Amino acid sequence: MNNKVNTSFLSCLAGAAIILICWEIFALIVNLPIIPHPVKVFQKLYMIFGTTISAHLLHSLYRILIGLSCAVLIGVPLGICIGYFPKIERLFSPLVYLLYPVPKVALLPIVMLLFGTGDTSKVLIIFAIIIFQIVLSIRDSIHDISEELYYPLKSLGASFNDIFFDILWPASLPRLLTALRISTATSISVLFFTETFGTKYGLGYFIMDAWLRVNYLEMYAGIIVLSLLGLTVFCIFDLLEKTFCSWK
């Protein structure tokens, strides 16, 4: 296990080093303010992190965590019910298939008209992105369970709670974490877009504000923090999957 962690860590360091080297070479070739040197960007990031970027980062994290938590609390039970109970699946499947393909960013004007330009609209967009991934991943996981796995428990008079904890939840967890990893990364990208409207806090606002002020060092510093946020979320779900789904 430790060898795998060390290998992954070294691979990340090697990838980061390659990106920084290519960035530095490109900055030397272009030699324009729009492509600053990485060292200057990291120096700027160090200078403003505690005073400026940290506040924007916390606001973005708050929106992501609230949207993610609501999506998990609603999406997991709904996905299990749709996957396990045929009547509920017949009731909700048309609604899921109708709404899932709709680009959630396209709903942003409607959401802002209904809920304003504050945090609520941004959280709802993140929620809408994540919940469909959760529902569909759990539903498909339950559909893939062989009927023969239910027979021993049902013959012993097991309740739905017993079936849930012994069969449904272990079978659903790997796909759930994969769906969360992918959808949360997507929601961070969408959050950047939503934070350019009706707010003065958030990494999206910070990056666009720096761009409008032609402060390229701050702009790149914000991009780095946003990228590290996405990488951190990805690594957390990857670690959770390796910890709780080691039997895969």
Please write the tens of the pLDDT for every residue from 124-149: 999 998 899 899 999 999 988 888 88
pLDDT at 194: 86
**Domains in the chain: boundaries:** 1-35, 38-244
CB 245 within 8 A of CB 141: no
Q: Which residue has the tokens 């790997």?
A: 174
What phi and psi values does residue 35 have, to the nearest 5 degrees? Answer: -125, 80
Under 8 Å between Cβ of 38 and 27 = yes
Contact (CB, 8 A) for 139 and 83? yes
What is the model's pLDDT at position 38?
A: 92
The pLDDT of residue 145 is 86
Joined tokens for residue 145: 């369970």
**Which pLDDT score is estimated for 149?**
82
Weakly modelled stretches of the chain, pLDDT under 70: 1-9, 246-248
Q: Look at residue 8 in the predicted model and tell me its pLDDT.
A: 64
Give the torsion through C-alpha atoms of 26, 30, 31, 37, to 10 deg.
-20
Quote the tokens at residue 248.
Answer: 């895969």
Supply the pLDDT for residue 188.
86
pLDDT of residue 6: 58
Which pLDDT belongs to residue 162? Answer: 85
Look up tokens 């996905």; give the residue. Answer: 79
For residues 120 and 67, give the distance between their C-alpha atoms in angstroms, rounded to a whole number.
9
> How many alpha carbons fall within 13 Å on the CB side of residue 178?
12
Taking alpha carbons only, the member of 248, 114, 101 closest to residue 176 is: 248
pLDDT reported for residue 215: 92
Under 8 Å between Cβ of 211 and 219? yes
What pLDDT shows up at residue 206?
A: 93
Fold of 38-244: MetI-like fold (1.10.3720)
pLDDT of residue 248: 59
Q: Report residue 116 as tokens.
A: 């304003």
